[in-house]
Amino acid sequence: MKRLTSLPAEDGFYMPGEFEPHDGCIMIWPKRPGSWPFDAREARKAFVKIAEAIADSEHVIMLAEAETIDSAREMLSDRIEVVLMESDDAWARDTGPTFVRNDYGQVRGVDWQFNAWGGEYDGLYADWKKDELLAARFLDAYGYETYDARHFVLEGGSIHSDGQGTILVTERCLLSPGRNPSLTKKEIEEQLKLYLGGKKIIWLPYGIYQDETNEHVDNVCAFVRPGEVVLAWTDDERDPQYEMSLADLKVLEEETDARGKHFIVHKLPIPKMPVCIKPEELCGFTFEPGEDTREPGERLAASYVNFYLSNGGVIVPQFGDENDSMALKILGDCFPERKIYPIFARDIIVGGGNIHCITQQIPKGDVHEKGNSCSGSDEMLPGHQ
């Protein structure tokens, strides 16, 4: 892997919008007993449905550890490339690389520092060594030139780009003491601009209530296309999310994007009934020392904004809630050119995230240095060199 000493913005690279064409999608086969109850039995079924829906229109690479790779190969179709690679958990959005491209079709990777959503301050588990190495291992295995951003803590779920210089983030996450406490807000902005090619950072105050990632933006607001977003919403003034989304809406109504255009905002309802941990689910978890635990009745950060855009589809979480169909209608209207794939996602949200959190798109590129072919390999892929 070639680790570059220059910066993406200086080289003309930027983070494209997720609605732009992809070369593929990275996922990680679930296994962590503190995230996925009962040996990830139901979670794996949900992962299969999501991977196969994405595979209808783009390549899917499923990373799996040695003890689970046979399970992945047995449950997934031959359309999915299953690759041996170590990880601590299955959140590909946050532990995988962020990809940037230039106007000539070159694609490169950004390797951020990962500290389990807060490190020693409020991280969700005590040992994240394998997750911290995953982005570099993937970029090395597939031959992508890499920008080293390991001085800066960032997860992929904490950023959204319109591909034209506008980056969405939340203050609750990026200003968390567990991320980059020595940096000012202005200095954090500068890092985002340098490594994502951003020209303007939009700071939303909040994410989704009870989101244990310190409120990632990908759970509350996402670009439909440049200048147009969906925002998680509730009209229930008794719900804590009401004031949070109201504050986010105020920012979006007052701000403009990097081109000076005002935002079109589509209000996307959250589930009408809070999605909470059930006692029968709780008994299926096995938590390690230092790992964040769950409580009976704990409210989970369920949101329909946590969808994945494939080349031909919108893979949308469903919760068995009366607002499920409304979310599908709104997203169908936002993406008339794409097929809507409703996926029952309760077995993912119990892990703490959802469909967008377990996926990481690889933007379409005409040029990158091709690495080793990893399909079907039983050799552990290399880590940092």
Strand locations in the chain (E) = 3-4, 22-28, 59-64, 80-84, 98-101, 107-113, 146-153, 160-161, 166-170, 200-204, 221-225, 228-233, 264-269, 308-309, 313-318, 339-344, 360-363
Instruction: Write out the two tokens for 346.
Output: 């309760």
Catalytic residue among 173, 334, 357, 374: 357
Q: Is 283 assigned a catalytic role?
A: no
Q: Residues 298, 261: contact at Cβ < 8 Å?
A: no
Map residue 193 onto helix, strand or coil.
Answer: helix
Map residue 251 onto helix, strand or coil.
Answer: helix
Number of other CB atoms surrounding residue 313 within 10 Å: 19
DSSP 276: B
Q: Residues 362, 22: contact at Cβ < 8 Å?
A: yes
Active site residues: 357
